[in-house]
Amino acid sequence: MKKFQLGEFEEIVMLTVAILYDDAYGVSIKKEIENRLGRNVSVGALQSALRRLEDKDYLASHDKDATQERAGRPKRYYKITSLGKQAMQYTKETRNSLWDAIPSVSLDVKFAKLFNA
């Protein structure tokens, strides 16, 4: 199986783009992440992540809607490609399989503390 590389922030951006579906452009993605996760996202970090994802062919983009409040600049809308979908799926599955492999006792924090002591 082909290996998919997806960083933590990249994964969040992918998921957010998926959530926003038809309305995923720079500002909306930024706001959605800030609202849902309560963390600050700089334009720079977001754009650089989008760039990397586009380079990996996980995202595709097109420009439209040059509006007044954007000083006549178009919005660049992002969509998940099928390769991007596979990557997200792969990440999710590896996570799940890891979760499944955890024995229940290791998450018993009290026991762990005792053990450490």
Partner 1 sequence: MHNPPKLFLKFFRWYCHPRLVKPIEGDLMELYEERVQELGKKKADLQFIKDTLLLFRKDIIKPAEGTRKLNHYGMFKNYFKVGIRNILKYKTFSFINVFGLAVAMSVCMLIILMLADQKSYDQFHSKKDTIYRVLGTPEIGSWPFATVPMPVAETLEEEYPFIEEAIYLRRGVGGDASINQKTVELKGYFTNSSFFSVFSFPLVEGDKSTALTAPNSIVITKEKAYQLFNDKSPLGQQVKFEDRGLHILDIESGNPPVDWGTYTVTGVIDLSAYKTHIKFDALVSSSTLPRLYQDSLIADVSENWEYYWGVYSYFKVAEGTSHDQVQKALSDLSLRKYAESEELSEFQLSGQRLTEITPGIPVNNEATFRLPEIAYYILSILALVIMVMACLNYTNLSIARAITRMKEIGVRKVNGATRKNLIFQFLTESVITVIIALLLAAVILYFTKEAFMNLWFNKYLNFELTTSLPVIAQFLVFAVIVGLIAGTYPALFLSKRNPINALKSKDLSKGKWGLQKVLNVSQFVVSLIFIVTSMVIYNQFKHYTEFEYGFNSENIINMPLQGNDYDLVVNELSQISGITNISAVDYIPATGITNVIELQNQKEDEEPLVLLNYYVDENFIENLDLKLLHGESITSSREDGRYILINESAVEKLGYDSPQEALGQIWKLDNDESSVQIIGIVENFRASLLINGHEIRPMSLSTGKDKLNYLNVRISEGNPLKTIADIQDRWKEIDPIHEFKYDFYDNELSNTNLAIFDVVTIIGYISFLAILIACLGLLGMATYATERKTKEVGIRKVLGAAELKLVLILSKSFLTLLGMSILIAAPLSYFINKLWLDNLPNRVDFGFETVIIGSLLMLGLGLLTIGSQTLRAARQNPVESLKDE
Residue 22: other Cβ atoms inside 10 A: 6
Closest CB to partner 1 among 48 and 96?
Answer: 48
What type of residue is 73?
R
Cα separation, 111 vs 25, in Å, equals: 47
Closest CB to partner 1 among 54 and 90?
Answer: 54
Q: How far is the CB of 40 from partner 1 (least distance, A)?
A: 11
Closest CB to partner 1 among 77 and 84?
Answer: 77
Q: How far is the CB of 15 from partner 1 (least distance, A)?
A: 20
Q: Left if phi > 0, otherwise alpha if psi is -120 to 50, otherwise beta: which for 38?
A: left
Q: How far is the CB of 9 from partner 1 (least distance, A)?
A: 13
Q: How far is the CB of 92 from partner 1 (least distance, A)?
A: 25
Interacting residue ranges for partner 1, rule: CB under 8 A: 25-27, 30, 42-45, 47-48, 51-52, 63, 66, 68-71, 73-76
Query: For residue 25, which of 33, 17, 15, 35 has the smallest C-alpha distance?
Result: 17
Closest CB to partner 1 among 53 and 87?
Answer: 53
Query: Which helix (H) or strand (E) segment is 20 a member of?
Result: helix 8-20
Maximum pairwise Cα distance, the chain: 64
